[in-house]
Structure formats: C-alpha cells, structure tokens
Amino acid sequence: MRISTSQFIQQGLSQILTQQRQIADTQEQLATGRRVVRPSDDPAAATRSLSLRESIATLQQYNDNNDFAQSRLQAEEVALISAGDLLQRARELAIQANNATQTNETRAGTAVELQGILDGLLSAANTRDANNEYIFAGYRTAAPPFVQTGSGFSYIGDQGVREIQIGASRQIAIGDSGAAVFFDIANGNGTFATGASQANTGNGIIDIGSVTDISSYIPDDYTVTFTSASAYDVTVIDSSGDAVVVATGTHTSGQPIEFLGIQAVVTGQPATGDTFTFANSTGQDVFTTIQGLVTILNTTVTDPSSQAGLNNGISSALANIDQALNNVLQTRSSVGSRLNALDDQLNINSIFQFEAQTSLAGIEDIDFAEVISRFNQQLVSLEAAQQAFVQVQRLSLLNFL
C-alpha cells in the first residue's frame, strides 16, 4: 500500500490533536475536581449524580423547614410561658383575696392588678412570630385572633393548625389554634361545674366538687335545693320540662353532698330555699374567667351572705383558672415534644444528607493522584507525537532534490 507524504502529515496532526484534546479534558478535571464534568463523560454516572443532587436539595429544604418550625414553636413556647406565669399570679391573687382578713379596699386593689394580668394575657395570646404572623390565629395569621368587645371577648381566628414538611414522610404542627389554648377550656373541675345562686341568703360555700364513681355519673344539670337548714333535694329537669327529684339528704357543714357518682362539699349554713348547681362543664375562655374575677373582687361585701357569695365566686374562678393553667401547661408540653421531634428529624436528615453527599463525591470527584499521573503521561505522549511529526515531515523527496 502506498502511503503519501500528505497521509503522514495528516496522521501526525490527528494524533497531536487527539493528545491535546485528552490533555484538555484531564486539565478540566483537575481544575474542577470533578470526574464527570458533562453528561457525555459518563451518562450513567451523570444520571445517578442528578438524582443524588435532587435528594440533597430536598433534604436541605426539609432542614430549612425545620429551622422555620423551630423558630415558630419557640416563639409559641415563650408566649405560653408568659401566659402560664400570668395565670399562676392570678391564682395567687385569687387565693389571697379569698382570705377573711381582706377588706373591700384591698380586694379592689387586687382587682386592679388582675386587670393588668388580663391585658398581659391578651398580649400573649396575640403574639406574633418573626414573620409578623399571629401564632394562635390558625390559618388567619394576618389579624389579631383575640379581641375585646363591649359584650366580652371574641376569637376571630380559625381552628386550623398549620403543618410543615420536615422529612420525606413526616409533617409537624407549627402552632396551635387559639381556640384550643385559650378559649374552649372546660370550666369547673372539667366534668361538671358547681355554683351558688346569687339569691342565696345563707352563708353556704360550695367547693368545685369531684367525681367519685364515673360509671354512676349521668351527665346533666342538677340543682340542690335546701328545703330546710339541714335537708336538701337534688332535682333535674326531664324531657317534659318538669323537675324530678333524683336524690335527697341531710346536710352538715363540711360534709359532702353526694349523688349519682359525684359530690361537692358545702361549708357554712345554707338557708331554706338556697340553691346550688351541678352543671355539665362547658367551654369558657380564660379572659372571661379573669374578667369575672375582677368583677367579683370589686363587689362590696356587707354581710355574711354577701361574703359567702364572694367566696363562692372566687372558688369558681379558681377552678376555672386551674383548668386554664393546666391547658396552657399541656399545650406547652406538646410544643416541647414537637421541638424535640424537630431535633431528632434534623439529625436524621443530616445523616441522609451526609450519605448522599458521600455517594455523590464517589461518583463525581476525581482521584487527584491518578489524574495527575495520567496528565503527566499525556504530556509525554504529546511531546512524543510532536517530535515524531517533526521527523516524519522531513521524509519528503523534495528535501533531496
């Protein structure tokens, strides 16, 4: 086969260009530190690399969500701590005001402090997070959820609980509905609420009561009427609207009135015709409870009957404050559990993220020792090809004419 001079030259140039291209590719790997610079370098590895990068980006978004959730729950925890401290102080003031040594004037001074506590509770309930959103408003985060009107207090948020994705299959609540925290709180002892009629003329004082046998308890609204100073009837309104006697008994101060699995202790001496109620617990907001206590403490006491009315009112308010305080503490406990869950999930995400980054490095990153060695070999090959080209191009017959 005849090989012409031009073929020698073309072949030599082709080999030099091939060596230069290989050196350029190797140099690019050294400059970027990556084995797969473009998909064509290794299509299978590029596909796997893309999948790993998407996983890493998704895990990073979960971690960003985790940071946001932590910030919001920490803001809620601070608000709940403040509300708990205020309710604890309100409880202390109520116990103090229930002391027989207190006067109308000292109770009025206590009522002033309670009014300040009420303002503080409203402020805590209307707390906003770092994004200026109201924490306890449900989904309606742009407006204050709790407002005071001439007729009382209103909740204008909703029942929604916002959740955020913190893991591939895990969401977590980043708030609590204000209705559940501050509004829908069972009054009394949580099962029923005792009360005394304002028309009572005796000095009987009833406690918050308790359940002695839940299996015997039939939820309803019961009225205890003293038919004499030492005897009483327990009645309930039936479906036809008539009062039906369900129990009778005699009363001694400090002894419980007990029927249908529930009881309450009445101290003092009720008068004939005095009534006390055992009503199913209903939802009551903490603000109304504190406002009611303020009103009670501003009531002037003039005789044993009005003193008993004051004591009954404070006792009822104390029971409601305890329920509100327990509710706040339970919510705070829930927030703490969620914060712990966020820490756990952050650790899990970090482990997955590290594993994905390690796998990605194994696919994309170069072995610098191997690539540098190859680069040096390619330089030697290029120099050899160039020197060979110089020798070959001298073989032309024109050089001998």
pLDDT for the residue 385: 63
Confidence of residue 294 (pLDDT cuts 50, 70, 90): very high
pLDDT in tens, 20-33: 666 666 666 666 66
pLDDT for the residue 37: 62
pLDDT for the residue 26: 62
pLDDT for the residue 361: 65
Residue with the bigger pLDDT between 230 and 366: it is: 230
pLDDT at 123 over 80: yes
Average pLDDT of span 389-394: 64
pLDDT at 239 over 90: no
Average pLDDT of span 298-321: 94
What sign does the dihedral 11-12-14-19 (CA atoms) show?
positive
Average pLDDT of span 292-319: 94
pLDDT at 14 over 90: no
Strands 210-211 and 283-284: unpaired
pLDDT for the residue 356: 84
Task: Return mean pLDDT, the chain.
Answer: 87
Q: Are 324 and 121 in contact (CB under 8 A)?
A: no
pLDDT for the residue 206: 96
pLDDT in tens, 140-159: 988 999 999 888 899 999 88
Average pLDDT of span 2-26: 65
pLDDT at 284 over 70: yes
pLDDT in tens, 35-71: 666 665 566 766 777 787 888 899 999 999 999 999 9
pLDDT for the residue 117: 97
The token pair that represents 93 in the structure block: 């003031």
Per cent of the chain over pLDDT 90 is 66
pLDDT in tens, 94-106: 999 998 889 999 9
pLDDT at 115 over 90: yes
pLDDT at 383 over 60: yes
The token pair that represents 271 in the structure block: 């008068």
pTM of the complete model: 0.79
pLDDT for the residue 202: 94
pLDDT in tens, 154-179: 999 988 899 999 998 899 999 999 99
What sign does the dihedral 385-391-393-396 (CA atoms) show?
negative
pLDDT in tens, 179-225: 999 998 999 999 999 999 999 999 999 999 999 999 999 999 999 99
